[in-house]
Amino acid sequence: MVERVFREERGRLLAALARRFGDLDLAEEVTSEAIEIALNRWPVDGVPPKPGAWLMTTARRKAVDRLRRDKSYAARLAVLQVEADRAGPAPAADADGELPDDRLQLFFTCAHPALPAEDRVALTLRCLAGLTTPEVARAFLVPTPTMAKRIVRAKQKIREARIPFRVPAADELAERLPGVLQVTYSIFTEGYAASSGADLQRVDLAEEAIRLARILRRLMPSDREVAGLLALMLLIHARRDARTGPGGELVLLDEQDRGRWDRTMIEEGRSLVVAAVTGGPAGPYGVQAAIAALHDEAATVETTDWPQIVALYDVLLALTPSPVVALNRAAAIAMRDGPQAGLDLIDELAGEPLLRGYHPYLVARADLLDRLGRRADAAAAYREALATAGTTPERRHLERRLAAVESAGS
């Protein structure tokens, strides 16, 4: 119960305090202090009826205590607060009479164009999604000290550039929205396929990303890429229950019980795909959502419309050229034209720096070698992939595949 409350309240508390005091470091400090006090008191006194309000009151008191002790620091924050107030009023209530989530305001702050693109995502994953610095580093395929420096640099930039904690005005949204969408999808990706730990999925993170995307959709109902992102996440998350077995083991797409897929979520996602791809050229999230819809509509892997999926990957590769998109396209071509065709394309990507040590690339290559009956090469590829597996279910799955290949080759 206590852990669930902390998971739900930490990001909300941090964002509200950052907006209130205008300083992310102070907000992080007092948030951590409030949670530490709760960890000591709640097991004895019980969880309060309104745990979020309790944490907020405790954190605010800690912040006020610090500002009273450090007058010069308090003066600097006061100047920042005045400038933030001049930059624009607090957001008005939406059509449903609800204020936008404080975390959404912090999302837009972290997605400010003054920050380098990789810093935007890293800072938001650390502060709002509650990922540890090593988890964020793994998601970016960089060493933990490098990521720690990046996060510190991003917070310093926000402070030095005096970036306000608010949802931007309408004329700024177009520039800032892609960063917010990227951050939201990065959180979902960590939830869908955890970078490390005992579990394959972190369902709480995936559902938090979907919740934030729903807020975005409510705030910007006419934006087609917002619709596309929400559709994409719903269509992928609909398979969550079938992706693991009774013991938490990994279940691949072609082995999943599709009767366990969430059909209500799939139907919602499909309707959002229509909004995302009509009325003009589709954006990257809309195209990815259309691909996910084709997977969810198929009765089996074999009856999936692979030619259409390849065609959509062609569109996506033109919109966002990247080795990862090219890898996914190669996997789809392997399903359409056979494993050798896919392997030829994957091997062409071997020199891409971004794919060096990239787990999905190594797994895809090992799988295609296995399907081609190249046992010795497949075993070597599985060993290489095993060395990069982040979660226990992934490691166990690859160990089983490796054992099967070695047994068949002996």
pLDDT at 128: 73
Q: Where are the domains of the chain?
A: 1-89, 100-237
Q: Average pLDDT of 390-410?
A: 92
Report which secondary-structure segment, H or E, holds 376. Answer: helix 375-386
Q: What is the mean pLDDT of residues 377-395?
A: 95
- Of residues 18 and 100, more confidence is placed in 18
Strand pairing partners for 244?
250
Task: Name the more confident of 343 and 130.
Answer: 343
The answer on pLDDT for 281 being more than 80 is yes
- Which pLDDT value is given to residue 268? 98
Task: Give the pLDDT mean for 142-149.
Answer: 90
**Is pLDDT of 55 > 50?**
yes
Per residue in 87-121, pLDDT tens?
Answer: 454 444 343 333 346 777 887 888 788 888 778 87
Chain position carrying tokens 């948030």: 31
Q: Which residue has the higher pLDDT, 18 or 348?
A: 348
pLDDT of residue 98: 36
Q: Please report which confidence band the pLDDT of residue 389 belongs to, taking 50, 70 and 90 as the band edges.
A: very high
How far is 366 from 360, CA to CA, in rounded Å?
10
pLDDT at res. 143:
87
State the pLDDT at residue 85. 52
For the chain, the average pLDDT equals: 87
- Which DSSP string corresponds to 63-112? HHHHHHH-HHHHHHHHHHHHHHHHH-PPPPP-TTS-PPPHHHHHHHHHT-
* pLDDT tens for each residue of 68-86: 887 766 665 565 454 445 4
User: Distance between CA 352 and CA 325 in Å, rounded?
Assistant: 12
Lowest mean pLDDT among 95-104, 194-203, 260-269: 95-104
Comparing CA positions, the residue from 189, 267, 177 lying closest to residue 226 is: 177
Query: How far is the C-alpha of 122 from the C-alpha of 139, rounded, in Å?
Result: 9
Residue type, 79: V
Of 348, 344, 309, the residue nearest 329 (C-alpha): 309
The pLDDT value recorded for residue 95 is 38
Higher local confidence (pLDDT), 136 or 269: 269
Segment (H or E) for 269:
helix 263-277
| 218: pLDDT strictly greater than 90 | no
Question: Of residues 132 and 346, which shows the higher confidence score?
Answer: 346
Contact 173, 231 (CB under 8 A): no
The residues, any chain, with a CB within 8 Å of residue 343's CB and separated by 6 or more, are: 334, 365, 368, 369, 372
Q: Is the pLDDT of residue 132 over 70?
A: yes
Q: Is residue 218 classed as helix, strand or coil in its secondary structure?
A: helix
Query: Is the model more confident about 331 or about 281?
Result: 331
